[in-house]
């Protein structure tokens, strides 16, 4: 009996090779929980919409209201290959995580970047995420932004939230999703998102948990596991017209 068990253990050990481990690694990546909670919320060309499916979107009207979960705010980087994120270094500020500078990430050699319609494109894309809830349907939504306009809107919203939060204990901001024309020297007037606070109420079911430094520690470990950069990153000269996360 002992001999049979020993042979079985040996066979199992011999059957685990690099190809098997690589296949399981890919499976783990595909099965991992998405950063998107609920449905994707998009801002493009001055309009907000909810992506219901690959083919269908709901355009948001100026009077629709949403409650925001401010502590859900997260930031970081995705590395893209074949229009899919293959590496994610993303965490929440309330957990103690802050997005690292591009200079500490690998893939600094512009000559090795994938070539798109506008030339070499940095495979690493900085992103910000925020969780909202549609007050009409209770549908959870995640806004994922990778533009300067999105960062500006999130900064403006968080500033307004922090200034008033202590006056509304146990409540979260209700917002209208708006657009305004931000002047730009290089691009003219750019449609820019805005989350205008118009009231307060509890977020309810689906709100993200309170800050936990252990979550940020996991992201820092993932960051340390990346290859070290070997050359200066090329400057980012991409446009700033829309959020272009490919869902």
- Contacts for 147 with CB less than 8 Å, ≥ 6 apart: 240, 241, 242, 243, 244
Band the pLDDT of 17: cuts 50, 70, 90: low
Helix, strand or coil, per DSSP, at residue 120:
strand
| Sign of the torsion angle spanned by Cα atoms 104, 110, 114, 117 | positive
Q: What is the reported pLDDT for 13?
A: 44
pLDDT one-digit tens code per residue, 157-196: 999 999 999 999 999 999 999 999 998 888 788 999 999 9
Nearest CA to 57 out of 141, 172, 129, 160 is that of 141
| Confidence band of 32 (pLDDT split at 50, 70, 90) | very low
The confidence band for 9, taking pLDDT boundaries of 50, 70 and 90, is very low
Size of the chain in residues: 247
Q: Which of 100, 109, 37 is nearest to 73 (CA)?
A: 37
pTM score, whole prediction: 0.79
């Amino acid at each position: 009996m002992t001999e049979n068990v020993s042979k079985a253990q040996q066979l199992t050990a011999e059957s685990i090779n690099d190809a098997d481990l690589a296949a399981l690694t890919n499976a783990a990546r595909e099965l991992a929980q998405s950063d998107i909670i609920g449905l994707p919320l998009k801002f493009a060309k001055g309009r907000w919409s909810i992506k219901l499916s690959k083919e269908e979107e709901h355009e948001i009207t100026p009077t629709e209201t949403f409650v925001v979960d401010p502590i859900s705010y997260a930031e970081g980087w995705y590395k893209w290959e074949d229009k899919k994120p293959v590496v994610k270094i993303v965490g929440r500020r309330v957990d103690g995580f802050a997005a690292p500078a591009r200079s500490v990430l690998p893939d600094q050699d512009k000559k090795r970047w994938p070539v798109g319609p506008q030339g070499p494109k940095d495979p690493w894309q900085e992103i910000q995420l925020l969780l909202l809830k549609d007050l009409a349907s209770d549908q959870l939504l995640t806004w994922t932004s990778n533009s300067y306009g999105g960062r500006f809107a999130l900064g403006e919203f968080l500033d307004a939230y922090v200034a008033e939060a202590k006056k509304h204990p146990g409540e979260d901001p209700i917002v209208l999703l708006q657009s305004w024309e931000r002047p730009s020297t290089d691009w003219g007037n750019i449609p820019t998102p805005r989350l205008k606070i118009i009231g307060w109420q509890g977020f309810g079911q689906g709100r993200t948990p309170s800050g936990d430094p252990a979550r940020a520690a996991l992201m820092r470990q993932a960051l340390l596991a990346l290859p070290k950069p070997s050359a200066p990153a090329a400057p980012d000269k991409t446009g700033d017209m829309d959020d272009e996360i490919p869902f």
